[in-house]
């Protein structure tokens, strides 16, 4: 089944809406703000932990919640045909939590952590249902390009809002604000408004019930039955299972780099906020081209080869990060160059991974359930990645060992990907 270009563009526009969360909250402004207002150590269950470690653990907890909830909710969504309603629910939950971060100061650390967890659950939970629309609104031959368009729109939109936020943070007095801390909190409010507001374009166009399903009573039980059917199918779909194993391992690396790169630059290399933000902007703008470049590579050489090329570059990035030193007078320029490489492969691997999985799953009414396993693989990967990263910081006292450890996950993902057969698009 394929819908009009307007519907496809509206679907892709949700990336424009929600990517401000992943850039401003997950990557750029919030981690730096959190580090600036938090004490060096905090007590958790009577044990002193570095605040960076606690932040890493809180992110891991949010991904555990999504990993537990999304398979069951996706089964209900598939049975009732209400993927759009679930998408809306998680979108509103996440955007309202971002708005609530306006009230986070150093005096209420656990309020900030709690709201960041809710915002994370909202963001990642919504992606389960958003991604599940891809095989329903686009033919297989169009899915690479449409997936790349979505990520590219997200990078552009998020970068625009981040630039506005930076102007606000760097020149708070020009806007009648007392300091950059207040400006940062206004940025969190702007993220929630942007996310909720622009999502309305997507919600207006996406179909409510693609397969015209008519749920009866006991729909929660029936939803579990729907999920069980998908589990049974997965047991016989070897290519999908092998791809998910590979995706799981390399996602540990990808998502951990995205979430914790700014903390690495600040605490390990001693870079100031302006240099970190510039690096993040480099990543974002290079990622726009990266998404389309790897879409072209996939057309020429196939999806799997494009992902393999990306993984090799990711391994080089991790080794490069390990070699950086805060004592090097040129460390900022090297960090910028590394950021450019991250941007190139970040856009490519995210877009192509999503469309590759979309092509691998069979034609089915249960796309949300199938994509829940994709998203659960990613979330468990992030839990392991962020926990490993935080644990190694606590164990070694620095982040360089953590950066090098991530290269092992990329290598394992590359080896496992070699066991996946060629991706053959389904007939549409």
SS3 39: coil
Strand partners, 41: 50
Provide the pLDDT for residue 425: 54
**CB-based burial label for 179 (10 Å; 0-12, 13-18, 19+):** exposed
Task: Check residues 266 and 323 and name the one with the higher pLDDT.
Answer: 323
Instruction: Identify the weakest region by mean pLDDT among 56-60, 138-142, 243-247, 258-262.
Output: 258-262
Report the pLDDT averaged over residues 222-249: 76
Look at residues 19, 160, 18 and name the one whose alpha carbon lies nearest to residue 88: 18
> Of 144-148, 332-336, 371-375, 392-396, where does mean pLDDT reach its minimum?
392-396
CATH of the domain at 83: 1.20.1250.20
Question: Does 10 fall in a domain?
Answer: yes
Total count of domains within the chain: 1
Residue 428: strand, helix, or coil: coil
Quote the tokens at residue 80: 């009732």
Would 65 be classed as within a structural domain?
Answer: yes
Q: Which residues pair with 50 in a beta bridge?
A: 41
Residue 423 within any structural domain of the chain:
no
| Mean pLDDT score across all residues of the chain | 84
Say if residues 67 and 380 touch (Cβ distance below 8 Å): yes
The answer to whether residue 29 is domain-embedded is yes
- Domain that residue 165 falls in: 5-207+222-417
The pLDDT, as a whole number, for residue 428 is 41
pLDDT at 161 over 80: yes
CA distance linking residue 173 with residue 160, whole number of Å: 21
Evaluate whether residue 17 is within a structural domain.
Answer: yes
Strand partners, 49: 42
Indicate the range of 97-106, 208-217, 309-318, 382-391 predicted with least confidence: 208-217
The answer to whether the CB of 146 falls within 8 A of the CB of 5 is: no
Residue 229 lies in a domain: yes
**In the prediction, which pLDDT does 21 show?**
96
**Residue whose C-alpha is closest to residue 25's, from 150, 172, 192:** 192
427 vs 408: CA distance, rounded Å: 37
* 426 assigned to some structural domain: no
Residue 216 is predicted with a pLDDT of 47
pLDDT tens, residue by residue, 196-226: 999 999 999 898 755 445 544 444 445 455 5
Residues 91, 202: Cα–Cα separation, whole Å: 11
Q: How large a percentage of the chain has pLDDT more than 90?
A: 36
**Model pLDDT for residues 15-69, shown as the tens digit of each residue:** 999 999 988 998 788 988 988 888 887 777 777 778 777 887 887 788 888 888 8
pLDDT at 227 over 80: no
Asked, for residue 422, whether it belongs to a domain, the answer is no
Instruction: Give the pLDDT of residue 132.
Output: 83
Looking at residue 78, what is its pLDDT?
A: 67
pLDDT of residue 324 exceeding 50? yes
pLDDT, tens digit, 9 for 90 and up, residues 258-295: 767 777 887 778 888 778 888 888 888 899 999 889 98
- How far apart are the C-alpha atoms of 130 and 127, rounded to whole Å? 5
pLDDT value for 217: 47
Report d(CA 164, CA 174) in Å as an integer.
13
Q: Please give the average per-residue pLDDT across 154-179, as a whole number.
A: 92
Structure letter (DSSP) for residue 178: S
* Residue 103 to residue 204: CA distance in whole angstroms: 31
């Amino acid at each position: 089944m394929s819908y009009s270009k307007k519907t496809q563009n509206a679907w892709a526009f949700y990336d424009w809406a929600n990517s401000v969360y992943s850039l401003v909250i997950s990557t750029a402004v919030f981690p730096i703000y959190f580090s600036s207002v938090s004490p060096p150590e905090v007590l958790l269950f009577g044990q002193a932990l570095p605040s960076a470690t606690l932040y890493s653990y809180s992110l891991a907890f949010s991904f555990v919640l999504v990993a537990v909830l999304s398979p069951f909710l996706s089964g209900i969504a598939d049975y009732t045909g209400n993927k759009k309603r679930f998408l809306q629910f998680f979108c509103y939950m996440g955007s309202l939590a971002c708005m609530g971060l306006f009230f986070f100061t150093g005096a209420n650390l656990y309020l900030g952590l709690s709201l960041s967890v809710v915002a994370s659950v909202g963001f990642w939970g919504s992606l389960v249902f958003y991604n599940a629309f891809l095989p329903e609104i686009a033919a297989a031959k169009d899915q690479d390009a449409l997936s790349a368009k979505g990520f590219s729109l997200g990078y552009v939109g998020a970068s625009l809002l981040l630039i506005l936020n930076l102007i606000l943070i760097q020149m708070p007095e020009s806007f009648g604000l007392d300091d950059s801390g207040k400006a940062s909190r206004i940025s969190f409010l702007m993220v929630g408004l942007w996310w909720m507001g622009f999502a309305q374009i997507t919600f207006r166009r996406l179909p409510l019930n693609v397969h015209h399903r008519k749920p009866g009573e006991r729909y929660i039980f029936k939803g579990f039955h729907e999920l069980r059917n998908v589990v049974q199918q997965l047991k016989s779909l070897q290519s999908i299972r092998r791809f998910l194993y590979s995706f799981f391992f390399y996602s540990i690396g990808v998502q951990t780099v995205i979430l914790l790169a700014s903390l690495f630059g600040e605490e390990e290399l001693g870079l100031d906020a302006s240099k970190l933000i510039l690096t993040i902007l480099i990543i974002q703008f290079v990622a726009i081209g990266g998404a389309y470049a790897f879409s072209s590579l996939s057309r020429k050489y196939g999806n799997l080869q494009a992902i393999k090329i990306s993984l090799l570059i990711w391994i080089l990035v991790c080794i490069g990060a390990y070699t950086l030193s805060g004592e090097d007078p040129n460390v900022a320029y090297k960090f910028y160059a590394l950021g450019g490489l991250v941007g190139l492969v970040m856009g490519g691997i995210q877009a192509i991974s999503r469309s590759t999985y979309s092509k691998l799953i069979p034609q089915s009414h249960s796309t949300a359930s199938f994509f829940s396993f994709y998203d659960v693989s990613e979330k468990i990967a992030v839990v392991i990645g962020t926990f490993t990263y935080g644990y190694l910081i606590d164990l070694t006292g620095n982040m360089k060992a953590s950066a090098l450890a991530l290269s092992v996950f990329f290598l394992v993902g590359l080896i496992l990907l070699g066991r996946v057969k060629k991706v053959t698009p389904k007939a549409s």
